[in-house]
Structure 1
Amino acid sequence: MKSHHLHRYLRALWRDTRVLVRQFRVSLIAFAMLLCGGTLALRFFYLYPESGQRPGWAEALHATLKLIFLETILPFPTVPGLQLLFIVVPLIGLAVVADGVLRFGVALFNRRERKEAWQVAIASTYHDHIVVCGLGKVGYRVVKELLRLGEDIIGIECNAERPFLEEIRQANVPVLLGDARQREMLEKACVREASAIVVCTQDELTNLDIALDARELNPDIKVVLRMFDAQLAEKVKRGFGIHTAFSTSALAAPIFAAAATRAQIDYSFYVDDVLLNVARATVQVGSALEGRTIAQVEQELDMTIILHQGPDSIDLHPAPDVTLRAGDRLVVFASLESLARLREMSGEQRSPSQGGTNSPRRRPWTARLFSRGKTSSR
């Protein structure tokens, strides 16, 4: 993995250097011509006053560099043409160096000051990656999950003040600042070489616009689209050939509904109008689950146990003959009805916040209102 990142860094470095050379090519060419011309003139026409000898190539080059930076190591010549050279070279060199070469050097060795250009250079080295458009709360979570899965990611965000951008950059994810609706931004993110694009801004039309542009640039790209209306999401999938269009409300509704129940539910979704849930349960001492096997619980409660955590190990695919003990933790895949029965069998009690039998009963609001009035009158 380290060699992969090093290779990508070197490629980005080479690409960024080529961009800088192209940007400052006029100043660099002028500097090179001035350096070569001055070196040739000193090498063939300058004579030392004392010895009458000509300087060598290295000495002539060194003397020309000194002249460009307003210094000299050679005595002032007596030949009028060389005298003019000693005057003109510093003036031209000062203008050329001050205008272009120094700025080129600063840009070349101080890439942190050129954040956006450097991010584009890194992004240009990506291939078979995933582009995430919109790095708000949803986009930030998408990036985190994709990083956990080991995917290469490029982010696009139009708001430079987003609170998560710096954290995303620190995770070695290149972030391009700009409007993803502009094809130039998608080109910078190498959408043509990407395997998928996740569009999760807060505007449905913007999301659709970006998705269609990405599909036009790369017909084989997988598009994951964030929508807010379930019917519109379904129409987009059918009408535009978008691989996956998710309705935010459709995803959130089952989670909210399931979270309102007593089960410890982590995730919920619908399959053909059937609400399915991923939930956790703990086997309590003396409960009906204690002593039963995985197969017995699955058959009796019509659920699938996808994880079993015992005192010493965690098994993502527990064997059917594993016997449950007190303290074992389970992650199950089931309907709400099955989860309710599982909770009863596991021996878990309702917390006071869920209205347990020991929680104090709240008085009606009228009684509380009149009692408050009596207290204030005293």
Structure 2
Amino acid sequence: ARMAGAARAAERDDEGRAGLWALLRSLAAEADRPLRVVIGLQFLVLAISVVVLQAGYVKSDGSRMSIVDALYFTVETIATVGYGDFSFADQETWLRIYAIGLMGGGAVLTAIVFALVTQLLVSRRIEGAFGERRVGAMRGHVVVVGLGTVAIEVVEELVTAGRRVVVIDREEAGRHHPRANALGVPIVIGDATDTAVLDAANLAGAVAVAVLTSDDFVNVETGLVVRERLAERWSSVPVVLRVFDRELAGGVEDGFGFQNVRSTASVAAPWFVGAALGLDVLGTFYVDRTPFLVGKLAVAAGGGLDGLAMRELSERARVVALHRAEGGVEHPPRRDTTFAAGDEAYLVGLPDEVVQVLRRDAPGQPAVGVEMP
């Protein structure tokens, strides 16, 4: 029993320390510049005072202060505690004058720190309560689950497009929270697989949901809970799931009936392949489950495209615009138009087909069509 009690006490201590560290991390993440500046100044005063006391303070036995004694006496002086173990009464005049400044300045800095910390704590509670009321009153917003690197970019794009956004994030002090706060986007802290958290984000009033955490299985689980919570609105509210694994993305669409599962690997791979081969990738998009690539290439002199007619290209990789080397733009180019060295071609097509066109443009390649079997 004693061992069990000791284990429970140790567990409570661990939870207490974890809670304290979480509070400190949260305060550090939310602290604004004035608070950081004042705290920095206070530490600077402490450091200067330690050096001054070590150099100028003489004890009754004629010895100098240690670093610990100097730090202790500095804190004691700023806090105006005065235990009587150290005193400036018998020190030189310049050191007593320094003590007056240390007590006054230290007390002012300490008061400012307490005031700013209190303001921070109170403002966070007010903002949290206001944010909950604001989310509850929202209609026609987009719920974004997760606030990582991809999610914050999506949030910024949605806000720029004039859409209202509510974010659900597990972390109380995520590194992208300040960016979301600057956009005026309310953040609901919690697990999106919890229906109470979805209700707090007012899922009932949302017009779309984007599940964008970095964990595939969390995204799938969240999507299933969202589908269940939407009930009869499931068919009319788009739910987008970010899934890295391409096969898992297809399985989720086939097995669970999701219409908008996007594999980041499928989207990113054409970018990397095209960029590695010299293609200026302008964008990717999906038509149903099929990814398409938009890119720009410069026709190389003596390459496989130099002198090639448009009609000789694959039907699955189309040139939608051609910026001629001598000036002018053909949009769209005619079928009998031929490429010339220095032209800039804008292509749209399946990634593999666009890459094949790019390969054909390598110097030394024959100027023949690139029809694929």
> Does the residue aligned with 1:195 lie in a helix, a strand or coil?
strand
**Counterparts of 1:186-225 in structure 2 under 5 Å?**
186-219=198-231, 220=233, 221-225=237-241
Q: From the superposition, tell whether residues 268 and 344 of structure 1 become closer, same or farther in structure 2 (CA, over 3 Å).
A: farther
The Cα of 1:187 is off from its aligned counterpart by: 1.0
2-side partners of 1:132 and 1:166: how far apart?
16
The Cα of 1:136 is off from its aligned counterpart by: 0.5
Q: Structure 1, residues 294-339: CA drift from partner, whole Å, max 9, x if none?
A: xx9643434333456689x998x93446999997754321421112
Alignment partner, residue 318 of structure 1: 331
Alignment partner, residue 156 of structure 1: 168
> Does the residue aligned with 1:218 lie in a helix, a strand or coil?
helix
The Cα of 1:210 is off from its aligned counterpart by: 1.7
2-side partners of 1:154 and 1:161: how far apart?
16
Q: From the superposition, tell whether residues 310 and 186 of structure 1 become closer, same or farther in structure 2 (CA, over 3 Å).
A: farther
**Counterparts of 1:346-361 in structure 2 under 5 Å?**
none
1:137 aligns with 2:149: yes
The Cα of 1:189 is off from its aligned counterpart by: 1.4
CA RMSD, 1 decimal = 4.2
Matched-pair contact (CA < 8 Å) for 1:134–1:157: yes
1-side partners of 2:289 and 2:200: how far apart?
41
1:305 aligns with 2:324: no
Matched-pair contact (CA < 8 Å) for 1:255–1:269: no
**Counterparts of 1:211-250 in structure 2 under 5 Å?**
211-219=223-231, 220=233, 221-250=237-266
Corresponding letter in the other structure for 1:128? G
Q: From the superposition, tell whether residues 307 and 115 of structure 1 become closer, same or farther in structure 2 (CA, over 3 Å).
A: farther
1-side partners of 2:217 and 2:133: how far apart?
30
Alignment partner, residue 76 of structure 1: none
Q: What stretches of structure 1 of length at least 5 have no aligned partner? A: 1-105, 346-378
Identity of aligned residues (%): 29
Q: From the superposition, tell whether residues 146 and 301 of structure 1 become closer, same or farther in structure 2 (CA, over 3 Å).
A: farther
Alignment partner, residue 18 of structure 2: none
1:172 aligns with 2:187: no
Aligned residue pairs total: 233
1-side partners of 2:225 and 2:290: how far apart?
35
2-side partners of 1:150 and 1:160: how far apart?
26
Q: Structure 1, residues 112-165: CA drift from partner, whole Å, max 9, x if none?
A: 652222222222232222211001012112223333444332111111332222
Matched-pair contact (CA < 8 Å) for 2:304–2:362: no
Q: From the superposition, tell whether residues 289 and 231 of structure 1 become closer, same or farther in structure 2 (CA, over 3 Å).
A: closer
Q: Structure 1, residues 214-250: CA drift from partner, whole Å, max 9, x if none?
A: 1122133221112233333222222222222223334
Matched-pair contact (CA < 8 Å) for 1:305–1:332: yes
TM-score (norm 2): 0.50
Alignment partner, residue 41 of structure 2: none
Alignment partner, residue 79 of structure 1: none
1-side partners of 2:189 and 2:156: how far apart?
19
TM-score (norm 1): 0.50
Alignment partner, residue 367 of structure 1: none
Q: What stretches of structure 2 of length at least 5 have no aligned partner? A: 1-117, 365-373
The Cα of 1:197 is off from its aligned counterpart by: 0.9
1:332 aligns with 2:331: no
1:262 aligns with 2:278: yes
Name the larger-Rg structure: 1
